[in-house]
Amino acid sequence: MIASVTGTARHVGLDRVVVDVHGVGLLVHTPPSVAAGCRTGAPVELATTMVVREDSMTLYGFATVGERDTFELAQTVSGVGPRVALAILSVLSPDDLAAAVAGDDIATLTKVPGIGKKGAERIALELRDKLPQVPGGGAGPGAGAPVGSWQDQVVEALVGLGYSVKQSADAVARVADDHAGGDVSSALRAALQVLAR
């Protein structure tokens, strides 16, 4: 998959940017705030994800890795596809979404076009254990902050694999003494073995 795109903005629309990458123009769908920050002829760098469907391959781009990860995570909620996930990030930052989910703030979630009360309740329920680990605008390695401890990195990797925050933190705590040197890959393997038991 295409994880990032760097090139020159050849066309900027309200919610899309055509990025020229060595002579190839890639159409990248973005939140309006990201498109507004791009200028035709200027260099652009976007964190991207590709959504492949039977009849299309669509590239979505974001200003930070945290926004991209939140976009991908939002799609794990039943009934939320790329269009709704993009609408969420057009209205809420990753930190705002995490705060709304943590506080069961249904009113904030229903401000997103296409999300009603039931959809907002489902988002709050299904993302509750996942969102705190997603780096947002002001925190986490995706936003340019310093990378956290090896334990944080392993927990984040496990959450990305679908385990809850609690399961991941418990597994990391069980292997912490044996991996005090901070080798993330071996600690991740050990934590996965703990979770597989």
Confidence grade of residue 132 (pLDDT, cut at 50, 70, 90): low
Task: Specify the 3-state DSSP secondary structure of 40.
Answer: coil
- The percentage of the chain sitting over the pLDDT mark of 70, rounded to a whole number, equals 88
Picking from 123, 57, 42, 138, the residue whose alpha carbon sits closest to that of residue 84 is: 123
pLDDT score, position 117: 92
Is residue 172 within 8 A of residue 162, CB to CB? The reply is: no
Whether the Cβ atoms of residue 62 and residue 47 lie closer than 8 Å to each other = yes
The confidence score (pLDDT) of residue 85 equals 93
The token duo for 55 is 């009849």
Kindly report the average pLDDT of the chain as a whole number. Answer: 83
Could you read off the pLDDT of 149-182 as tens digits, one per residue? 677 777 777 777 777 777 888 888 888 877 766 6
Question: What pLDDT does residue 123 have?
Answer: 92
H/E element holding 86? helix 82-91
pLDDT of residue 181: 64
Contact criterion met (CB below 8 Å) for 28 and 19: yes
- pTM of the predicted model as reported, rounded to 2 decimal places: 0.65
Amino acid at 15: D
Cα separation, 131 vs 108, whole angstroms: 16
Q: What is the per-residue pLDDT across 61-73, written as a single tens digit (0 to 9) for each?
A: 999 998 999 999 9
d(CA 120, CA 116): 6
In whole angstroms, what is the distance from residue 118 CA to residue 41 CA?
Answer: 43
- Euclidean distance between CA atoms 82 and 65, whole angstroms: 16
Compute the distance between CA of residue 9 and CA of residue 40 in angstroms, rounded to an integer.
Answer: 5
According to DSSP, the residues that pair with 19 across neighbouring strands are 9, 26
Q: Collapsing DSSP states into helix, strand and coil, what is residue 140?
A: coil
Q: Tens digits of per-residue pLDDT, 36-95?
A: 899 999 999 999 999 998 998 999 999 999 899 999 999 999 889 999 999 999 899 888
Q: Which residues contact 81 (CB under 8 A, 6 or more apart)?
A: 75
pLDDT number for residue 177: 76
